[in-house]
Structure 1
């Protein structure tokens, strides 16, 4: 009798474990692209830290941007609760994903496990993350240089992606963050390339937004470039245009941007004709 119960119990546990594993789908290209988009697109997210006194999770909304490799960037005051929490424990998590129409649980979202890294003042890294953060959140320029505000990079350790009903994935750091080798050639050239495009090629940017992305008319600007795509901003709206292929270096990027403009013009002419 007892042996029968053990056997039944063991079978039940195995079935339960199998069902749990089946819930997580194999990570494919679409899941990686969705996860990377959920990091790069939002202008805000919910940051959860561990309160030093109680050990309880403390969640609050923060403004977001991403470094060139896709690592989330935040700018927070030293007086805030999460800054004090990070001083005691660098572990944190970030919930990203905007809610659209209808059921909020039907829209993609992702919970990201992170380790916070404070960006030191005077470093080249700080100048880069500040530039990218303000390009996405220009109003933060009012306090970005206050002595009691600091930038943090949230180093991604892994993530749980919910792409909608029945679409759950477990993503790794490599699934979401570009390697340092992939970004190396663009670190020093990205700022100049963005300035050049925004000053001299607004017609091409307009084509990217209105023709390729169907994002509507507006004063669109490029806020970020990386080996996988272009981030565009109009007011509070952020859109992302992905390259067809991973691009390396500023030469390939220039060729890629020119190719996108040609594609948009061809689509425009086809629609008109």
Structure 2
């Protein structure tokens, strides 16, 4: 049961792209401090956030890296019957130039507008390293989980494998992407762009919203991804 719960928890983490970050307040000791942050997942499948150096939550994390990220299903009619996931984590600021560059390249694909304020307004990348997960899949479906995240086989190293596949799809296969949008019933008011690929599916960015679509079966190689994308385009 825990393996199935972990899968559902991971899919919720992939489907959403913003959550409530809770930190230990320095201004009001003893109280938690909540703020909304966007995120994408790094090569380890861990949340990657970009936050301002002057933000209250950044000051809190610098003093105490223990935090939590609450993610819930967007637009749920009944929030208590919907899935939600709380990640208890240690937040680490990225400091190595290679790590920062890899994070930037990945994060910009998900949130293109971040490119400007990252470079100009003193924002830094932080990674939320999981300690434990609490997943609630609805009434009575409550689980403590130790393993939820999966490493992305295509984002390892400098992420060239994933980046190449994403750029190829965006440059050469716009009709296929439009078909994925139509099949999933996603809003088609703006052209979709592929933002990322992992072993279980891929992210599409439509305007400022992100949507994750699953593969029928997990894919561990670029060839498997190609075959899965062709099959999905054919319907």
Please confirm whether the aligned pair reaches a TM-score higher than 0.5, indicating the same fold. Answer: yes
Q: Is the 8 A contact 2:154 2:161 kept in 1?
A: no
Q: How does 1:1-273 map to 2 (within 5 A)?
A: 26-29=1-4, 31-52=5-26, 54-120=29-95, 122-123=97-98, 125-146=99-120, 148-172=122-146, 174=147, 176-179=148-151, 184=156, 187-211=159-183, 213-218=184-189, 219-262=191-234, 264=235
* CA offset digits 1:64-111 (Å, max 9, x no partner): 111133211111111111111111211110001134253322221111
SS of residue in 2 equivalent to 1:165: coil
Between structure 1 and structure 2, the one with the greater Rg is 1
Higher-helix-fraction structure: 1
Structure 1 residue runs of 5 or longer lacking an equivalent are: 1-25, 265-273
Q: Which runs of 4+ in 1 moved over 6 A?
A: none
Q: Is the 8 A contact 2:153 2:198 kept in 1?
A: no
User: Matched residues in 2 for 1:242 and 1:48: separation?
Assistant: 29
Partner of 1:7: none
SS of residue in 2 equivalent to 1:104: coil
Structure 2 residue runs of 5 or longer lacking an equivalent are: none
Query: Shift of the alpha carbon at 1:204?
Result: 1.0
Q: Give the TM-score normalised by structure 1.
A: 0.77
* CA offset digits 1:24-69 (Å, max 9, x no partner): xx3242x223211222222321101112351421111112111133
Query: Shift of the alpha carbon at 1:207?
Result: 1.5
RMSD, matched Cα: 2.2
Q: Tell me which moved more, 34-43 or 82-91.
A: 34-43
User: Matched residues in 2 for 1:55 and 1:38: separation?
Assistant: 30
User: Matched residues in 2 for 1:217 and 1:177: separation?
Assistant: 30
Higher-strand-fraction structure: 2
Q: 1:169 to 1:47 in 2, by over 3 A?
A: same
User: Matched residues in 1 for 2:143 and 2:158: separation?
Assistant: 30
Q: 1:189 to 1:128 in 2, by over 3 A?
A: same
Query: Shift of the alpha carbon at 1:222?
Result: 0.7
* CA offset digits 1:173-195 (Å, max 9, x no partner): x3x21147686489321112111
